[in-house]
Amino acid sequence: MKLTILGCHSATPRENAHTTSQLLEVQGDLFLIDCGEGTQMQLRKSGIKFARIKHVFISHLHGDHFYGLIGLISTFRLLGRTAPLHIYGPKGIKEIIVLQLKLAKSWTDYDLYFHELDGQESELIFENEKLTVHTLPLDHRVYTNGFLFQEKPGLRQLNRKVADSYQIPSCDFENIKAGNDYVLEDGTVVSNSELTQDPKPTKSYAFCSDTAYKEALVPLIQGVDLLYHEATFLEKHQDLAATTKHSTVIQAATIAQKAQVKQLIVGHYSSRYKDHQMFLEEAYPIFEATHLAADLKSFEI
């Protein structure tokens, strides 16, 4: 599982300061999370093949989190895309995108599927054989969700030396990795625990976009491997955080500490701060395993 920060700044894009967008890779699959202006340019800098993106998750309908989406959809069309694109976002995202395509007479040659969200509780919105994605209801000025990506347990790991010692044919390996015992020709049962080891530990990533401090998140993200939590303001501007329903870096660190996550990334910086090191200085006393988001920076989970 690998996370690439495409943009991590708030409000307006600036030179070398792109608005929110992230790319999460899970076992070879790519998931785009939010799509601020210039996202496709950041994707090009990252060397990402656009065709690999099949699912886009939009947290809320403030421009710095989705204004790059219509441009990306248009570029997909110009590149000859044929694969479907699934978009998960607040109710209204379909109307916004379809109106732009309609007025520009630029309908796509590929299918667009909109999965509009309006639930107030955490819900499963995506699942395949590798992972699940649940919403994380947030507290912002408009309807907003974060997203929790959780790997599913994989197959057990085959102990090849033991399997070969019993002369077990390779055609039975998948059945054994699925958890089954093996019966030898003489009727002897070789237990699965002898033939295999536990699967690799699953990994999880929680994306908490724009939100006021919300302790109800804690049980939903308990123990995740990596948490991204917005930290628009330093503590001296906590009044602005309250007014705009954003978080301070101390509030983000407190959520991480209460949820006992393994690592925290903070971002969505206000443009008023030139030195982001101050965010670490405020976070460390509460949650030491804190990292700064930066454009085009990657994190291995």
- Under a CB-based contact definition with an 8 Å cutoff, are residues 151 and 26 in contact? yes
Residue 181 a catalytic site member: no
Active-site option among 34, 64, 210, 295: 64
**Nearest Cα residue to 91 out of 68, 118, 113, 56:** 118
- Under a CB-based contact definition with an 8 Å cutoff, are residues 66 and 93 in contact? yes
- Under a CB-based contact definition with an 8 Å cutoff, are residues 207 and 293 in contact? no
Axis crossing angle, helix 39-46 with helix 69-78, rounded to the nearest 10: 60
**Nearest Cα residue to 48 out of 3, 93, 113:** 3
Alpha-carbon gap, residue 287 to 20, rounded angstroms? 23
DSSP summary character for residue 20: S
Which are the catalytic amino acids? 64
